[in-house]
A = this chain, B = another copy of it.
C-alpha cells in the first residue's frame, strides 16, 4: 500500500472535505465534516482541525494543504487575494502557513480581478479546482479554455496557457435559494421537472431585465398557464439560463467556445442542459477530483 503523504482539504462555507493522499496522488481515505466556516466561532478552526480532522484521517503527523473559505475572515486566518492573471506557480509563491500542530499547515490564497462594476471580483477555493483541472490533462495547460463552476456564487473563468486570466461571479445559486424559500415564488416542490426547467431557460432570453423575467415565474401560475409545483424547476431554468446567456459575454468569449463545467455532478448536469440548449459544447468534470489534483500539485511543488 502507498504511504500516506499529506492531508488535502477543501474547507468551504458549509462543510469540509478532507482526503488522505499518497505521494503518487492517490486517495487513501476521505471524509466530510459538517463544520464549514459559517458554523465556526472565531478561533475554532485550529482546534477543530487538530482535534477532529487530523485524528479522523489518522494524519496527525502529516503536512496539510487547505483551500476555500478557510482562508477568509470567517476562517482560520486571512490569506490575501492574489491578483489575476495568476498561475499555479503564483499561488505556490503566496501560500500561507499557520500553526497547526505537529506538522505544517498551509492555506491557499484566493484570487481577485477587476469586476464588471468597478468593484473587484473575488474567488476562494475555485482557483484550486481550476488549476487542478489543468493538471488532469496536459492540453488544458495550452491555449484558451472557459471553465464554469456552478454553485451558490457561480464562477466563470477564462484560462489561457494554464493561467487564470479573469473571471466573473454570478449569484445564481443564492438567488435561487432565497427566492425559493422566502419570496412570493416560495415552494417546497422539487426542482427536477425538465420541461419546466427548459421553459425557464427559454424565458431567460438574453439574460437581461432579470427582475421582470422573474415575475413570469409568478404570473404563469396566477394566470392559470402552469401548475404551482413546477415553479422551482422553472425558476432554476430561468436563473441558470440567464447566467448561461450573460456570463460568456462578460468574459468576452466566442459564442461557439466550449465550456468545461467543474463542480457538483447533479448541478453540472442542469447547467449542461441549459448551455446545450443554447448551442454550447459542454463537458462535465468532478469538482472534488479537481480540488484534490490542485492541492496535490501545490504539495508537490512545496516538496520539490
**What is the 8 Å Cβ interface bit string for chain A, positions 113-130, against chain B (1 contact, 0 not)?**
001111111100000000
Tell which of B72, B118, B211 touches A175, judged by Cβ atoms closer than 8 Å: B211
Interface residues of A in 95-118 (CB under 8 A from B): 112, 115-118
Give the CA-CA distance A213 to B115 in the complex, in Å.
9
Task: Say if the beta carbon of A179 comes within 8 Å of chain B.
Answer: yes
Q: How far is the CB of A111 from chain B (nearest CB, A)?
A: 11
Q: Are B170 and A119 in contact (CB under 8 A)?
A: no
Task: Say if the beta carbon of A58 comes within 8 Å of chain B.
Answer: no
A176 to B, closest residue via Cβ: B211
A246 to B, closest residue via Cβ: B209
Task: Say if the beta carbon of A161 comes within 8 Å of chain B.
Answer: no
**What is the 8 Å Cβ interface bit string for chain A, positions 184-205, against chain B (1 contact, 0 not)?**
1000000000000000001101
Contacts of A263 in B (CB 8 A): none
Give the CA-CA distance A178 to B184 in the complex, in Å.
10
Q: Are B212 and A210 in contact (CB under 8 A)?
A: no
Identical copies in the complex:
2
Give the CA-CA distance A214 to B179 in the complex, in Å.
14
* Stretch of A131-139, A215-223, A272-280, A282-290 on the interface side: A215-223
Q: Are A223 and B119 in contact (CB under 8 A)?
A: yes
Q: How far is the CB of A269 from chain B (nearest CB, A)?
A: 20
Tell which of B72, B119, B121, B211 touches A171, judged by Cβ atoms closer than 8 Å: B211
Q: Are B169 and A247 in contact (CB under 8 A)?
A: no
Q: Are A209 and B250 in contact (CB under 8 A)?
A: yes
Contacts of A239 in B (CB 8 A): 211
Q: Are B207 and A208 in contact (CB under 8 A)?
A: yes
Q: Are B117 and A213 in contact (CB under 8 A)?
A: yes
| Chain A interface (Cβ < 8 Å from any Cβ of B) | 72-73, 81, 112, 115-122, 152-153, 168-172, 174-175, 177-179, 181-184, 202-203, 205-216, 218-220, 222-223, 225-226, 239, 242-243, 246-247, 249-250
Since A152-B184, A171-B183 are in contact, a sample of 7 more A-B pairs with Cβ atoms closer than 8 Å, ordered by chain A residue number, is A81-B223, A116-B209, A116-B213, A117-B213, A119-B219, A178-B178, A182-B182
